[in-house]
Amino acid sequence: EESLQMWDLNKRLEAYLARVKFLEEENEVLRAEIQSAKSSPAGDSWRVKYEEELRALRDALDHAFREKCTAELARDNLYEEVQQVKSRCQKEKAAREEAKKQLNLSRKELEEERRAQIWLKERAVQLEKEVEALLEVHEEEKAGLDQEIASFSHSLESFRCAPVAFQPVEVEDYSKRLSEIWKGAVETYKTEVSQLEGSLCQAKENLWKAVEDNQQSQLQLQHLEKDLAGLKARKEMLEESLAQQWQEQRGEAEKFQLAMEALEQEQQSLRVQIARVLEDRQQLMHLKMSLSLEVATYR
């Protein structure tokens, strides 16, 4: 029984010694690799490369932050420009409303001028009718006077001695008075007609002025509409460029964030690998100590 126990212990000792030898060899290999990695320029170059990449990413992040600041400034400038465009649009809208008011006023004046022209035409027609009536009355009176003069002449021829009340001188005076009255009526008619013609010309001039003002207001309104359309197009273009810049900056920020996350994951994986190596080394040390104690106890 003791020989069997000794034989079992020998087998276990051989297995432990082989395991210790294997672990020592592996430990030596790992130590050599670590020393070579520490002393070799490749490790330094890898570390330098990693530091350079990290520095480049930091520079890129700073550059992205500066670009973000410039984009924010550009956004503020664009916002100010948009506000200016809005204020200009409001001013142009107010000017457009004012032009519409002026157009309505000019239309009202044009209607009033048309009504005045129609009234003047009707008044001229009425005056012409009155003149025609006066002419007819004058012709009738003249015909009556002619008949009276003819009758007076016949009576004068029939009666040699004519009475004093029916002398031809009075008839001539009467005809002269009538002719003077007729001349005065004609003069007043001419003055009224000239006044009506002058007012008609003035109404025509006012009408032409109103039409010209209307055309000018329409042209101004068209120019204002064109300017408003241009400002709206510029506003849309500025908004599109601002949205595009925001999307580009967001994409770049996401790319930098992904790159930083990848570097952090790589750094974390390296830390985990280093911790595993240190843990394996510590386990090997503990195993070596336990084996050495067991060998010492066995001896």
- Half-sphere exposure in the Cβ direction for 46 (13 Å, CA): 7
Query: Does the pLDDT at position 167 exceed 70?
Result: no
Buried b (16+ CB within 10 A) or exposed e, 230-253: ebeeebeebeeebeebeeebeeee
For residue 152, the model assigns a pLDDT of: 59
Q: How confident is the model at residue 61 (pLDDT cuts 50, 70, 90)?
A: confident
Q: Which of 33, 28, 56 is nearest to 43 (CA)?
A: 33
Amino acid at 36: S
> 0.75 exceeded by the pTM?
no
Q: What is the DSSP string of 151-165?
A: HHHHHHHH-SS--GG
Q: Tokens standing for 106?
A: 């000019």
Q: How confident is the model at residue 83 (pLDDT cuts 50, 70, 90)?
A: confident
Q: How confident is the model at residue 191 (pLDDT cuts 50, 70, 90)?
A: confident
Q: Could you report the per-residue pLDDT of 230-250, keeping only the tens digit for each?
A: 888 888 888 888 888 888 878
| CA dihedral sign, ordered 51, 54, 59, 62 | negative
For residue 16, the model assigns a pLDDT of: 86
Query: What mean pLDDT value characterizes the chain?
Result: 78
Average pLDDT score over residue span 222-231: 82
Q: How confident is the model at residue 164 (pLDDT cuts 50, 70, 90)?
A: very low
Query: Does the pLDDT at position 275 exceed 70?
Result: yes
Q: Which of 195, 200, 226, 245 is nearest to 79 (CA)?
A: 245
